[in-house]
Structure 1
Amino acid sequence: MTTLATFAQEKKTYTLEDVIPGGNNYFNLVPENIPGLQWWGDVCVRADVENIRSIQLKDGKESILVTLEEINQAIEKGEKPYQLSHELKPLRSLMSASLPWSERKVIVFQQNSYWVEYDFGQKKITNISRLNEKATNLDFCKTNDKVAYTVGNGLFVTGKGEESHQINPSQTEEGVVYGQAVHRNEFGIYKGTFWSPKGSYLAFYRMDQSMVTDYPQVNTSTRIATLEPDKYPMAGMTSHKVTVGVYDVKTGKVIYLQAGDPTDRYFTNVSWSPDEQHIYVIELNRDQNHAQLVCYQAATGEREGVLYEEKNPKYVEPQHPLVFLPWDESKFIYQSQRDGFNHLYLMDTKAKGEGTWKNGKLEGTTYLEHLKVTPLTQGDWLVQDILGFNAGKKEIIIGSTEISPLQTNLFSLNVKTGKRTLLGEKDGMHRASLSESGTYLIDNFSSFNVGREITLLPTNGKKGTTLLKADDPMSSQFKLPEITIGTFKAADGTTNLYYRLIKPVDFDPNKKYPAIIYVYGGPHAQLIHNTRFYDARGWDLYMAQKGYVMLTVDSRGSDNRGLAFENCTFRHLGVEEMKDQVKGAEFLKSLSYVDGERIGVHGWSFGGFMTTNLMLTYPDIFKVGVAGGPVIDWKFYEVMYGERYMDTPETNPEGYKGSDLKQKAGNLKGRLEIIIGGTDPTCVPQHSYSFLRACIEAGTHPDFFVYPEDGHNMMGRDRVHLHEHITRYFEDHLK
């Protein structure tokens, strides 16, 4: 019996099918979740396949509000006056349904080419709006019951019992796009339409790409390969022109903001005043070192003036739209890194500022306040998100790194006193959504020691009702490696860098193991957090099982450590970051169980650039590398991101030359494989092709693998194959 019990408890080994998204067992091994949690005003509800349930805040008890069966019965009836009802097919799931109105018992959902509203009090369909069957980028406005959407390059609006109205001219405008995200999704831009608070207007982006060079992507899946070009403005080249339009729902007329010549300017973070009279846009020059908050008249498009300006000799990077206080419509919150970390500033539209340029705490930053400004948060930490407001207590609910740059914690912030109150556990990463009144949060929390915990959390700082405590199923089923985090000094000798170290499964301190550094190192990315496995990916765990020491270092240049930590790489991408990764390699060599002659490196995108660069710049340290979707020459990268961190090739020739990996092709000593998606729209294939040509001319021999018709990342089964391929490369050449 003792032998049998021991055998029964023996833990298994895991495969890539277990740990890679797209693997056939991956989703069985992530901590349990409660999908479909959302707010119906101040009522927490859960939408699943068959039902939508309400959840009691005090005890978590559930009650059914609406069922899939009753909705399908209403669809089957097809009652008038909604003549489209007979065209609806039975609904298969309620997972994507939402309840936008706290005062109405109505759910909304999209079903194929229709936007549907169902009243579960009356048990009948109360609204059906027809969409184009190719509709994308849906934007629903609950204050006017209308949906904006795009089809191809066109923008449409539809409503209750209406035919869709096309906002842009119906005649073809070659290269002009309406209602979609612009500036290649930089500057916090993720959408292209912006409903006004009362639904009277729809602001939208119009992007003219007709002057932008086509990158000739080729689809090889057709009988004869087909040219499918991308509009791709490379650094220093002509970029697209953006204007902001305003559609008047009542009259159907469109006006454009009178912003002047949009050439070489960026229009970001579009926001509305609560009374719908004004539109605010943060405008950024092409050099990205001077941001202006500009106010426009919504009805006429007239430019009223600049409310705030900020300059930095490296770059200014606005990421967040204005947020008005719900209890005082004359004041809004602006977010800025002018003091070195992203913080909140309260601006008063009814009070003038000093109107003189001042110095920020971060060297080189200057700012000009045309309105009265009051700092709401300060310190060597950053505000990551505004979740909303508790208007009754005049508090803002925020997520921040105040406790640790490895975490996101939740706080209530009193606008008058500046007092911050921690909400929920001090440990770990918290993702949350706020109820309508701001009195409760749905807090989804995890840390290295907590698989997942979901709590209905009051915003007064008290304990809430826990809906779920989930262990990590991998911990109970598999032998897992030891994972630790720590710090060492950066190459500058003063800055602390966080690292994550994973020892091999069944670690033997007397053995000598090969080691791999998994790297990214670029802006807006952080690879180490206090969450499951300290953010280690499934492949890192898999390689530890195969007998590798795995190290990751968040070098200078990466996210959540402040602007100076990030922008020290300005105009010379790769230089400081590589120095810090070499410190990581030196740390590995200091470990008695690491074979210093067998150190490899792997990364994707900016990490692919870093991997290739490390292999070429430090060929005696790194023996094997796998670079995915790498930037090879920043002249080939897109305007917004590339010029922010490198300026233009014309103004920074030395910087571009120093980070052009083709120039180093002859330095390759170890084994380097480059892997790309065949139609990558982010790091276009020209990067890797040009590097291969440089290696041929230099007489060096990298390896190369392409995923035909894949983009910048491999998804689904291709992702499993990708990691099989990467693993084989290290097994063949490093082990």
Structure 2
Amino acid sequence: MKFPKILVAFLLATTSLLTAQNKKVSLEEIWRGEFRQETLRSLQSLNNGKEYVVMNRDRNSGNTSVDIYSYKTGKKTRTLLSSADLNEIDSFDAFKFSEDESKILLSTEVEPIYRRSSREIFYVYDVKSKELLKVSDNKIQEASFSPDNSSLAYVFENNIYILDLETLERTQVTKDGEINSVINGITDWVYEEEFSFVKAFAWNPTGEKIAFLRFDESEVPEFSMDMFGKDLYPNQHVFKYPKAGESNSKVSLHMFDVKSKTAQEIDLASMKDLASKDSEGKLNTLKEFYIPRIKWSANPMLLSVQVLNRHQNDLNLLFVDARTNTAEVILNETDKAYVDITDNLTFLEDNSFIWSSEKDGWNHIYHYSEKGKLIDQITKGDWEVTNYYGYDKKAKRIYYQSTENGSVNRDVYSIKPNGKSKKRLTSRDGMNSADFSADFTYFINSYTSVDTPPVYTLHSAKDGKTVREILNNKNLLEKVAGYDFSPKELSTIEINGNDLNMWMIKPSDFDENKAYPLLMFQYSGPGSQSVSNSYFNTNDYWYQLLANKGYIIACIDGRGTGFKGAEFKKVTYKELGKYEVEDQIAAAKKLGEKPYIDAERIGIWGWSYGGFMSSNALLKGNDVFSMAIAVAPVTSWRFYDTVYTERYMRTPQENPSGYDENSPLNHVDKLKGDYLIIHGGGDDNVHLQNTMRMVEELIQANKQFDWAIYPDKNHGIYGGNTRLHLYTMMTDFILEKL
């Protein structure tokens, strides 16, 4: 039979369309970035609140520029700086304005150290004269303008320096800095990782004083890692790492007077207000403590200092008078478990301050007087404030993000300091996040949901009305429409008396009369969240690949995770790995009862804390889980750092059973299923020691397992083809074992 040519063409086109719509995703596509989401480059509001600046890079020339855009129109108004006009440098990696925006600090030749720290070559660009000044021939850290832009403070080889930008005179503030011994002005490893900051000095608002932290880490035990590289002999990386129960750095607070060029220590240890009473009622001075935050108040001579005891359940807010170098306790916060550290402290013009706390069982915003007297609890209810954006003194409104619309969602609100006149500024259910202009005229909202990749829109901060759309990721939606993808279904599951949040991805040709193997993913760390109303991340595309091959993938946020109140989060205190694992095992059992899930083929995987969890789940739930993958797992909390571990577990000396009863090392005899353990050889965070000890215990228990080490790779295990290789290995393991 002969078909007309037009009909043949129609059939061919239809066939091609159907084929395109059923395209299967590959690991190569995922890890070469085929599904990369478009995001707004890091933007910074100008002081006028009407414009913002963005750093742009020309891919062809490699030149970088600082360009100015109008908030209202989104159009580029001018270029403030381009590396094409600079003879000294070809490009820069980051920029930072002086307070009056007359100078720009340019960062080049960035050399990463740990998660947040780096060494860099800095230049100062004068906007008016267009002159460029190299700060130092050495790579330095945390360069920072003085408030009047006349000077620059920075850290080099653990000492603080000040450079006068007019005379080029250099003042060395500290002289005792020494690698692996004394650090001035930047944090040690554990502060950087667990308190999330590196810069440990701050100019006061008038530029007369610099407050800084000093870390004496001479008694902190050293940890070493062999870095193999490509040379004949490996290098050994040695750094100070305080494991749970071991010695921390001795931290002290100092005040430097710029005019007299002298520094004085603020004696916190002997303060009676920071002392505790022993069993006989005698005062014991605070011997071990952390200083997780310092910040100047609205009074230019009053420094706020947060002092936290080693157990992290007693937090004091101090005010230090920079004229007398005396300190006073203003506010005290205690908890039966632990007190979380935030960046929410904000000072108003009268030096009253905004503070967030979980003291009523949920994270909320409070307003205190300068003397620490409670003025108002600004927000309240059975929901959490998840982000504090700031205070608009002109409109007299506070802006924040919360879970008022459900723990898997986020919305942006404004409210008066007295807790009245609350306004919801976002309207779509999902994850909404705001970036406000300097004067709070506008905010850029980032919105996503399970079926919507990030959409960026400009809104009026007054009422939340949309001004314009900035970026929408429609190209990504068009791309994924051609693939055989399934939706991420949000629901809840009742486990151990709690309604736990869950997502599930099923095969696109799902048949409820068939029984599918189930792969569970979780992280489960304290205060974390893996189930939210947000679009696919990179792992979700991998889950789509597995779904295409006939697997159901699910994730459940159990007890100990965040955004459902302090009691839900802190139930795991002193027993990490107990209740979280019980919830994963119970959830797997309950899901296994569904007719479309094969209860004999349930696996679990996780990374870092999730690797700790998946290992425990396979061992303690050996009648439920038949397979587990653990990537970069903690296998004993005795191996992890002081700040994180003791916050949730106290010390091993105080709580040995909590450490040991939930350690996978002590349950290897229970292994029945298939187990794959993976680690990076250069992991400075969760040390390879964890996996090596687990491997040895498994060997001595005569248990068979699979394992892989990625040489010199850190906790993220990436670089070159590393991620593709890793996920190929995990995929093959799942296909073979589950």
Q: Structure 1 length normalisation: TM-score?
A: 0.88
Of 43-52 and 601-610, the range deviating more from structure 2: 43-52
Cα distance in 2 for residues equivalent to 1:302 and 1:644: 29
CA distance in 1, matches of 2:163, 2:434: 32
Separation in 2, partners of 1:475, 1:142: 49
SS in 1 for 2:245: coil
Aligned to 1:638: 641
The change in CA–CA distance for 1:142 and 1:490 in structure 2 (over 3 A counts) is: farther
SS of equivalent to 2:394: helix
Matches within 5 A, 1:224-373: 224-260=233-269, 263-303=287-327, 305-320=328-343, 322-325=345-348, 328-350=349-371, 371-373=373-375
Stretches of structure 2 that go unaligned for 5 or more consecutive residues are 1-8, 59-64, 110-120, 271-285
**Alpha-carbon distance in 2 for matches of 1:425, 1:44:** 25
Judge conservation of contact 1:424–1:463 (CA < 8 Å) in 2. Answer: no
The alpha-carbon deviation at position 321 of structure 1 amounts to: 5.3
Any conservation in 2 of the 1:140–1:146 contact (CA below 8 Å)?
Answer: yes
- 1:529 is paired with a residue of what secondary structure? coil
Are the aligned partners of 1:188 and 1:269 in contact in 2 as well (CA < 8 Å)? Answer: no
Is the partner of 1:207 in helix, strand or coil? strand
1:81 maps to none
Residue 178 (structure 1) aligned with residue 202 (structure 2): no
Structure 2: distance between partners of 1:174 and 1:379: 47
Q: Tell me whether 170-179 or 558-567 shows the greater mean CA deviation.
A: 170-179
Amino acid at match of 2:637: W
Q: Quote the offset at 1:345 in angstroms.
A: 1.2
Distance 1:294 1:180, change over 3 A: same
Deviation at 1:558, TM superposition (A): 1.0
Tell me the residue number matched to 2:41. Answer: 35
Contact kept? 1:180, 1:192, Cα under 8 Å: yes
Q: What secondary structure sits across from 1:451 in the alignment? A: strand
Match of 2:469 in 1: 466
In the TM superposition, residue 256 of structure 1 has moved relative to its aligned partner by 2.1
Structure 2 Cα separation of the partners of residues 296 and 36 of structure 1: 34
Distance in 2, Cα, partners of 1:166 & 1:618: 59
Q: Does 1:220 align with 2:228?
A: yes
Using the TM superposition, give the Cα deviation of residue 705 of structure 1 relative to its aligned residue in structure 2, in angstroms.
1.0
Give the equivalent residue in structure 2 for 1:117: 125
| Aligned with residue 16 of structure 1, among 24, 27, 45 | 27
Secondary structure at the residue paired with 1:284?
A: strand
Q: CA deviation at 1:430?
A: 2.5
The answer (yes or no) to whether the contact 1:413–1:419 under 8 Å persists in 2 is yes
| CA displacement, residues 104-134 of structure 1 (integer Å, 9 cap, x when unaligned) | 5765433453322242xx5x41452413432
Q: Identify the residue that residue 523 of structure 2 maps to in structure 1.
A: 520
> Contact 1:116–1:125 at 8 Å: present in 2 too?
no
Match of 1:478 in 2: 483
Contact persistence 1:148–1:155 (CA under 8 A): yes
Mapped to 2, the partners of 1:64 and 1:348 lie a distance apart of: 43
Report if the CA contact (8 A) 2:157-2:178 is conserved: no
Equivalent residue number for residue 388 of structure 2: 386
Q: Distance in 2 between matches of 1:219 and 1:66?
A: 43
Q: Is contact 1:439-1:460 (8 Å) kept?
A: yes
Find the aligned partners of 1:343 and 1:563 in 2 and give their Cα distance.
11
Say if 2:583 is the partner of 1:584.
Answer: no
CA-CA distance at 1:680 after TM superposition:
1.8
Instruction: Tell me: CA distance 1:426–1:159, structure 2 relative to 1, closer, same or farther (3 Å).
Output: farther
CA distance in 1, matches of 2:238, 2:179: 17
**Selected match of 1:697 from 700, 707, 714:** 700
Instruction: Give yes or no for the alignment of 1:490 onto 2:495.
Output: yes
Q: Does 1:135 align with 2:132?
A: no
- Match status 1:157 vs 2:162: yes
Q: Alpha-carbon deviations, 1:364-401, whole Å to 9, x = none? A: xxxxxx53442111111222222222221111121222
Comparing 450-459 with 506-515, greater Cα deviation is found at: 506-515
SS in 1 for 2:218: coil
Post-superposition CA distance 1:197-220 (Å, at most 9, x none):
333333222111110111232222
* Per-residue CA distance 1:240-286 (angstroms, 9 max, x = gap): 21112233333332222211267421112211122221212221111
User: Percent identity between the aligned chains?
Assistant: 28
1:144 aligns to what SS in structure 2?
coil
Shift of 1:417: 4.7
CA distance in 2, matches of 1:518, 1:601: 6
Classify the secondary structure of the residue corresponding to 2:142: strand
Contact in 1 for aligned 2:159/2:177 (Cα 8 Å): no
Q: Are residue 682 (structure 1) and residue 685 (structure 2) matched?
A: yes
CA distance in 2, matches of 1:412, 1:526: 24
| Corresponding pairs, count | 685
Matches within 5 A, 1:549-588: 549-588=552-591
Corresponding residue for residue 431 of structure 1: 433
Structure 2 CA distance for aligned equivalents of residues 277 and 382 of structure 1: 34
Report deviation, 1:512.
2.5
Match of 1:60 in 2: 74
**What is the Cα deviation at residue 565 of structure 1?**
1.0
The amino acid of 1:435's aligned partner reads S
Label 1:731 to 1:210 Cα distance change in 2 as closer, same or farther (>3 A): same
- Between the aligned partners of 2:580 and 2:555, the Cα distance in structure 1 is 13
Q: For the Cα contact (< 8 Å) 1:443–1:456, is it kept in 2?
A: yes
Partner Cα distance (1:96, 1:315) in 2: 36
- 1:293 to partner: Cα distance: 1.3
Q: Which stretches in structure 1 are left out of the alignment for 5+ residues?
A: 77-87, 351-369
CA distance in 1, matches of 2:209, 2:383: 37
Q: Which moved further from structure 2: 505-514 or 620-629?
A: 505-514
State the distance in 1 between where 2:719 and 2:562 align: 28
- Distance in 2 (CA, whole Å) between partners of 1:477 and 1:255 is 66
Moved more, 422-431 or 480-489: 422-431
Q: Following the alignment from structure 1 to structure 2, what is the Cα–Cα distance between the partners of residues 479 and 566?
A: 37
Per the alignment, residue 366 of structure 1 pairs with none
For 2:259 and 2:132, the matched residues in 1 are separated by 19
Judge conservation of contact 2:177–2:183 (CA < 8 Å) in 1.
Answer: no
Contact kept? 1:406, 1:528, Cα under 8 Å: yes
Deviates more, 1:692-701 or 1:467-476: 467-476
CA distance in 1, matches of 2:95, 2:341: 33
In 1: Cα distance, 2:57 partner to 2:350 partner: 40
Deviation per CA, 1:550-572, whole angstroms, max 9, x where unpaired?
A: 01111111122221111101111
Amino acid in structure 1 at the alignment position of 2:486:
P
Q: Partners in 1 of 2:556 and 2:319 — Cα distance? A: 42
In structure 1, what is the Cα distance between the partners aligned to 2:591 and 2:571? 25
Are the counterparts in 2 of residues 396 and 413 from structure 1 also a CA contact under 8 Å? Answer: yes
* 1:36–1:96 contact (8 Å) kept in structure 2: no
Cα pair 2:637 2:645 within 8 Å, conserved: yes
Rounded Cα–Cα distance in structure 2 between residues aligned with 1:560 and 1:58: 34
Q: SS where residue 30 of structure 1 aligns?
A: coil
Q: Aligned AA for 2:495?
A: A
Distance 1:160 1:477, change over 3 A: farther
SS in 2 for 1:134: coil
Separation (CA, whole Å) in 2 of partners of 1:47 and 1:616: 50
Partner of 1:92: 91
